[in-house]
A and B are shown apart, each in its own frame.
Chain A
């Protein structure tokens, strides 16, 4: 007999629903995500959004903290070239994501648990598609908690 593996908090039979933190922008990507709601599109209730003014202001430590606290993936919905604050926003956001991924690897977390995409103010359909694909990919990876090196 092998010892039971106790990493799965959910009831047996329940499919694993990945928890995804979305970091979106107040002026552009958040309205796009709102539009998915107004258009009655669907995505997983495991998806939860925190809005910030600009994704160039995200600390990589927030992403790490989310993955260490129980989120299975983080999706950064950025303004891309549309950012009204910073002309080099896309570059800055990529740098932040790159730094977070490097730190994720150090912690044993799969770098694919972090995604970045430009989501515009009418990008409801691309957003739900991105999140659908991300949920599927994260479901295949399993819970992030299992990857964390102690």
Chain B
């Protein structure tokens, strides 16, 4: 080491974990230590039986303090497990948490090379060296502290949005509820009796709307649409147009935004299972008919004596363009409607042409009830779908091969054919553009993680709830609406928030203001600014999502993503190819 290097040398502590044998049965951890401890800036190099144990954490804190370490490398399991544990260790010892690097020598080393101890050990050494190389180039970073407004904007006044608004108000947050229609209530307002309590959808909505009205913390804007969003998490300024195209706008300040924009019903193409022929209707059309009906059931003045339901219309399709997913509510909604029909007139014949029945969970008794009430279920093969045609002398005929009776062809007479259509994402292109909501390949909005972060999106402070995330029952929509309440409270009730500082930065000196990066960021985090006569790009640390998408777009290599800088990645690559002695 030269004198200059020694003066600038880091003081790094390296801990290599046995994981009780999960690592050390396959990786010679002592050899790893022997291979790396001679590096001049590695001041502490130790193995630990369990790096995550309280005892080892205390050792680390003691070492960091006593040896005045300015860098920490922990080689153990996947960073998914203990990144926050060891960031915490660093913080407790007064070391900046971003001066620590996690090295994965378990999931990505010992466990995949159980057949090759030499190979696993050499690889672990290379991985630890890469971790040290990265740590040499870390800089202390501070999470950005942002004050947050105790107020949430809810978009969509369906059952999820209404229940969320009530929950938010009760937890002490202000609420602005924006509904595009003139009336609150969404789909559920149109529904008659709902399973399992038989309570009308419109009665449920009336109850919720009355609760909303009772809460002064909630401001309701109907006939209103979100048309603009500025600011960032904690301090959004949302532009809402009230009163339709061309009407005036108002600005609403909010710390978080909950999108509960719901779904649309799948609309069959003309000719799809006979759609367009008189007497062929969709499930929502039929439900509306049955909800309003009194015996005898009629459709356009003609009595309905027989109904054939064709399931999975527009759902569970294979091959490219069509919807691949199952809408999950439709089997239950259809058998429930059939039970309602039997209640009106038990002599109406009902045929259910299905691919698979999915009356899951607590909906199963409905299926039994429908069968007991006389509904007949016929299973067809997706490759041989039913055909719907007009019958001579009026009415319809549905031809289907019944898989359960050796593919026997049945010609079923029906006064009405009900196409059991599922949910599709609502066409919300403008809103998606405003909120930068990420949509999946199916068109529904994507949460960060379906199990661990089920209502958060990659846009900090923008949450999603209800059927805009994917097909849901009303109960499930309400549950996710309440999850969005909890999450809003979790991020707003403290009054401030800390944002991860691993964001992109632009080097003003190297920037030529070409503007290539401006279009690279869909989050509008990059803007051009000027001092005197110099123009250059600046990246808003609170607007940046830390993806790095702008990094390779800069022809001058003037952008670096903190934590993944050019120098760090280059150094890691070089360390990874080194062959241990």
Fill in one digit per residue for B539-581: 1 if any A CB lies within 8 Å of its CB, else 0.
0000001111111100001000100101001101110110000
Q: Is residue B399 within 8 Å, beta carbon to beta carbon, of the partner chain? A: no
Q: Is residue B138 within 8 Å, beta carbon to beta carbon, of the partner chain? A: no
Fill in one digit per residue for B443-467: 1 if any A CB lies within 8 Å of its CB, else 0.
0001010000000011000000000
Q: Is residue B113 within 8 Å, beta carbon to beta carbon, of the partner chain? A: yes
> How far apart are the CA atoms of A71 and B569 in the complex, in Å?
14
Tell me which of B79, B120, B438, B564 has the highest count of chain A C-beta atoms within 10 A of its own C-beta: B564
Q: Is residue B441 within 8 Å, beta carbon to beta carbon, of the partner chain? A: yes
CB-nearest residue of chain A relative to B554?
A59
- B569 & A85 in contact (Cβ 8 Å cutoff): no
Q: Which residues of A sit under 8 angstroms from B347, Cβ to Cβ?
A: none
Q: Is residue B123 within 8 Å, beta carbon to beta carbon, of the partner chain? A: yes
> How far apart are the CA atoms of A52 and B564 in the complex, in Å?
7
Fill in one digit per residue for A114-145: 1 if any B CB lies within 8 Å of its CB, else 0.
00000000000000000000000000000000
Q: Is residue B243 within 8 Å, beta carbon to beta carbon, of the partner chain? A: no
- B112 & A54 in contact (Cβ 8 Å cutoff): no
Select which of B130, B522, B552 is within 8 A of A59 by beta carbon: B552
Q: Which residues of B sit under 8 angstroms from A53, Cβ to Cβ?
A: 502, 546-548, 561, 564
Q: Which residues of A sit under 8 angstroms from B549, Cβ to Cβ?
A: 54, 56-57, 85-86, 89, 92
Q: Is residue B297 within 8 Å, beta carbon to beta carbon, of the partner chain? A: no
Select which of A21, A57, A81 is within 8 A of B576 by beta carbon: A21
> How far apart are the CA atoms of A87 and B79 in the complex, in Å?
25
Q: Is residue A108 within 8 Å, beta carbon to beta carbon, of the partner chain? A: no
Tell me which of B115, B438, B545, B577 has the highest count of chain A C-beta atoms within 10 A of its own C-beta: B577
Give the A-B pair count, Cβ closer than 8 A: 136
Q: Among B103-111, B177-185, B188-196, which stretch is in contact with chain A?
A: B103-111
Q: Which residues of B sit under 8 angstroms from A82, Cβ to Cβ?
A: 440
Q: At the interface, is chain A mostly helix, strand, loop or mixed? A: mixed
In angstroms, how far is the closest chain B Cβ from the Cβ of A96?
Answer: 6
- A19 & B112 in contact (Cβ 8 Å cutoff): no
CB-nearest residue of chain A relative to B81?
A34
> How far apart are the CA atoms of A41 and B115 in the complex, in Å?
10
- B130 & A50 in contact (Cβ 8 Å cutoff): yes
Q: Which residues of A sit under 8 angstroms from B561, Cβ to Cβ?
A: 52-53, 57
Q: Which residues of A sit under 8 angstroms from B574, Cβ to Cβ?
A: 65, 69
Q: Is residue B114 within 8 Å, beta carbon to beta carbon, of the partner chain? A: yes
> How far apart are the CA atoms of A45 and B448 in the complex, in Å?
31
Q: Is residue B164 within 8 Å, beta carbon to beta carbon, of the partner chain? A: no
B-side residues, CB < 8 A to A, are: 78-80, 104, 106-116, 119-120, 122-123, 126-127, 130, 438-441, 446, 448, 457-458, 502, 522, 545-552, 557, 561, 564, 566, 569-570, 572-574, 576-577
Since A43-B112, A59-B551 are in contact, a sample of 7 more A-B pairs with Cβ atoms closer than 8 Å, ordered by chain A residue number, is: A44-B119, A45-B109, A48-B130, A52-B561, A69-B573, A84-B438, A87-B522
Q: Which 3 A-B pairs have the closest CB atoms?
A: A57-B548, A45-B119, A37-B107
Q: List 10 A-B contacts (CB under 8 A).
A: A26-B79, A27-B448, A37-B108, A45-B116, A48-B123, A48-B130, A69-B573, A69-B574, A85-B545, A86-B522
